[in-house]
Structure 1
Amino acid sequence: MMSTAQRTASPTLDELRAVAQPPHVRARKNAEHWTAELYLRHISIYLTAVLVRTPISANGVTGLMILSGWGIAAALFIPGIVGALLALFFSQLQLYFDCCDGEVARWRGTSSAKGVFLDKVGHYTTEGAVAIALGFRAVGDLSLLRTDPGQAYPFVVAGFALGWCVLLNKALNDMVHVARAFNGLDKLPDTAAATDIPRGVVAALKRTARFVPFHRIYHSVELSLLAVGAALVGLIPGIGLTADRVLIVVLAALCALSVVGHFIAIMASRRLA
């Protein structure tokens, strides 16, 4: 592989792929969203090829990722199918930039702790905001918060509860890394073996959860897809906002269950040993 000093500002696609998309990046278990594996990594290299020819830094690309993520939550305040589809568009744009920022950093040799920090800020603020926005979306007419709070507040509360659970669920993974660092343990590899549970009831429940993976639906992409689904169901006469309201309540309950299961799985695994 060529050194950083040998890299030009106008690489070929093959040169760029070799450095920016090495096998160990494509093979990561948790860092790669399924959309990246399915298609985004196949097309992100073309935008990266443009970006490395500009003055924008990898952290600047991360900034675009953050803004795109916030756009998801903002779009969900637009009623009906238009807002949901716009949210889905921004969710794809967010992940597109999320692929590109790391690729730019690897090509230029500018990967840094600051970049990782900004990436975490982007995902935490986005996924928390999207969850909360879904709660307000379920209210429909936001004037109900003033005129009929008894009807509106349960869905707002469900949205905030979902947001809190989403953030806690994400934080549990970071807590593992912090706990290991504080105890002088090596960095946990991003592989299935590192999070495996040897045997027992918890291991059996984890295997069962693979067939109903509701614990994986709290990323901005999945939440946006669910918003689109609810909006489509809401187009059926007589349903309307009922679909959005059922969605936010069910999501909040399932996410709370996911947090409990995630905590138990961490404690039962080798991650803290």
Structure 2
Amino acid sequence: MTEHTTSARPTVADIRRVGQPDSIRKRRNAEHWTADVYGRRISPYLTLGALRLGMSANAVTWVMLAIGWVAALTVALPGWGFAVLAVVLTHLQMVVDSSDGEVARWRGTSGPVGIFIDKLAHYTTEALIALAFGVRAAGGFGEISDNLAWTTWGGLFATLLLLNKVVNDLVVSSRAQGGLPPAKDAAEVAAPRVSGVARLRRAARFVPFHRLFHAVELATVIALAAIIDAFVGGIDVTRWTLIGLVVAVVVTGLGHVTAILSSSRLRA
């Protein structure tokens, strides 16, 4: 595909027009809430800078991945300040996540490679944050050998979080291998057909703890625990939060699988 040629030197307005079409902004699940609140307002300025530097969309996505990994590293470092820094970095990651797609749409270079790197960035960031939370609960890198139980909890959390995330990809691959087209991204397709499951799914909207496993929300919960620990002295809040998140991801995963199997997502 050829580079977009509406303007040799695009403006922020050009980038918003080409890089933020309704087909992207109005997707049911693909946009994180940060995009609506501030991300799509800021991202065109990053996109403009990336275009002027000659960066490809994939290069921007690699930057997004690197920011996420640094955020995970800061989670592992003791003290509430590093935990708050992780929150800032995850928000920055989400803005860059909007920018890479805008670069791709402006250049006309959207494709499977970019999608792959984007998924890699999100999956590894969230898994590494979960692992890093185990290190934080142990007291930091220097305390791992004396507190292996907490790093084990972190490893379990990361594994379960990844399993929960991969379920949606299993739907895509299962439909493809079954000879079906991609499922329509619509509420009626995702809605459970079993009344009891549907009621539980509606109830979950009032306590949306399933959203805790995105990088921004996860880093925020960790930072809140770290701040409380700093005031009361100790690390107990951090450790109990880790255990609570493991329980929450188990419940979320079971509900996720049940909702998919009782919906039309795996049916023609």
The alignment's TM-score, normalised by the length of structure 1, stands at 0.93
Question: Deviation of residue 11 (structure 1)?
Answer: 1.3
- In the alignment, structure 1 residue 153 sits paired with structure 2 residue 137: no
- In the alignment, structure 1 residue 166 sits paired with structure 2 residue 165: no
Aligned to 2:187: 192
What's the secondary structure of 2:52's corresponding residue? Answer: coil
> Structure 2 vs 1, CA of residues 76 and 141 (structure 1 numbering), >3 Å: closer, same or farther?
closer
Aligned to 1:228: 223
Aligned to 2:84: 85
Question: Deviation of residue 237 (structure 1)?
Answer: 2.9
Inter-partner Cα distance in structure 1 for 2:142 and 2:89: 27
Aligned to 2:124: 125
Inter-partner Cα distance in structure 1 for 2:149 and 2:218: 19
**Quick one: which amino acid aligns to residue 228 of structure 1?**
A
Deviations 1:213-237 (A, max 9, x none): 1111101101110111001111223
Inter-partner Cα distance in structure 2 for 1:234 and 1:228: 10
- In the alignment, structure 1 residue 73 sits paired with structure 2 residue 72: yes
Question: Deviation of residue 141 (structure 1)?
Answer: 4.7
> Structure 2 vs 1, CA of residues 18 and 142 (structure 1 numbering), >3 Å: closer, same or farther?
closer
Q: Tell me, yes or no, if the aligned pair for 1:31 and 1:190 is still in contact at 8 Å.
A: no
> Structure 2 vs 1, CA of residues 79 and 72 (structure 1 numbering), >3 Å: closer, same or farther?
same
Question: Deviation of residue 13 (structure 1)?
Answer: 2.3
Inter-partner Cα distance in structure 2 for 1:141 and 1:156: 10
Q: Which region of structure 1 is more displaced relative to structure 2, 25-34 or 100-109?
A: 25-34
Deviations 1:158-197 (A, max 9, x none): 1111101110111000000011111222222333233112
Stretches of structure 1 lacking an aligned partner (at least 5 in a row): none
Inter-partner Cα distance in structure 1 for 2:237 and 2:243: 10
Q: After the TM superposition, which residues 88-107 of structure 1 pair with which residues of structure 2 at under 5 Å, given as runs?
A: 88-107=87-106
What's the secondary structure of 1:6's corresponding residue? Answer: coil
Inter-partner Cα distance in structure 2 for 1:189 and 1:24: 13
Question: Deviation of residue 25 (structure 1)?
Answer: 0.4
Question: How many matched pairs?
Answer: 266
**Quick one: which amino acid aligns to residue 220 of structure 1?**
A
Stretches of structure 2 lacking an aligned partner (at least 5 in a row): none
Q: Tell me, yes or no, if the aligned pair for 1:9 and 1:52 is still in contact at 8 Å.
A: no
